[in-house]
Amino acid sequence: MSARIASVAVFCGSRFGSLPAYREAAESMGAGLAQAGIHLIYGGGYVGLMGAVADAAIEAGGKVTGIIPEFLEAREVMHRGITELVVTKSMHTRKQRMFTDADAFAILPGGFGTFDEMMEIITWKQLQLHSKPILIVNVANWADPAIAMLDAAVSQGFASPEARMLVKIMPDVPSALAELAGMKRSSRETASSVAHL
């Protein structure tokens, strides 16, 4: 039997965004993961929602691993107060490491970098390189345009209806945490699948 999910990679913005609800959601996610005994994996920064999710997890007694490319470390944007900081050679190797270490992915509000991470992890799942859960947490409807884009790809014939099922849309952090609590870790991922990323 597969074990429960033990680690979640959270993708989110390096800015706070325009609504207080975004920061509140990041803090709620960090604290909620820690309280559930789930290891937080994130982008390693101390700024914006990334910093908020990490700070909340640390404050709640959780384990936090930040994964940051060396060019961002050189800009001194990394979080020095987390459990573990991993420095990678590039953005791509950062995403590979986050993929390898996480049992599931939660996408919170963010900008272009968050969209990049979201689409790559969805694409890897579409290509059957993994079967890990992907949750888009649609805080204050921030993700409506991105969800519409996914739906349009299906309606325009660029993706199958089955591909649309690769992600779950959650309306808020409590529902996302409840979903994660009921999930089991996938056993399909192998070193060979990571080598093809």
Does residue 165 surpass a pLDDT of 60? yes
Q: What is the pLDDT of residue 188?
A: 54
Q: What is the pLDDT of residues 44-75, one digit of tens each?
A: 999 999 999 999 999 999 999 999 999 887 67
pLDDT higher at 188 or 113:
113
| Phi and psi torsions of 166, nearest 5° | -70, -20
Domain ranges in the chain are 7-182
Task: For residues 76-85, give the mean pLDDT.
Answer: 88
Torsion over CA: 88, 16, 116, 179 (sign): positive
- Name the fold adopted by 7-182: Rossmann fold (3.40.50)
pLDDT band at 196 (very low <50, low <70, confident <90, very high): low
Does residue 194 surpass a pLDDT of 90? no
Q: What is the pLDDT of residue 192?
A: 42
Q: What is the pLDDT of residue 80?
A: 87
Q: What is the pLDDT of residue 184?
A: 87
56 closest CA partner among 16, 23, 90: 23
In percent, how much of the chain has pLDDT > 90? Answer: 86
Length of the chain as a residue count: 197
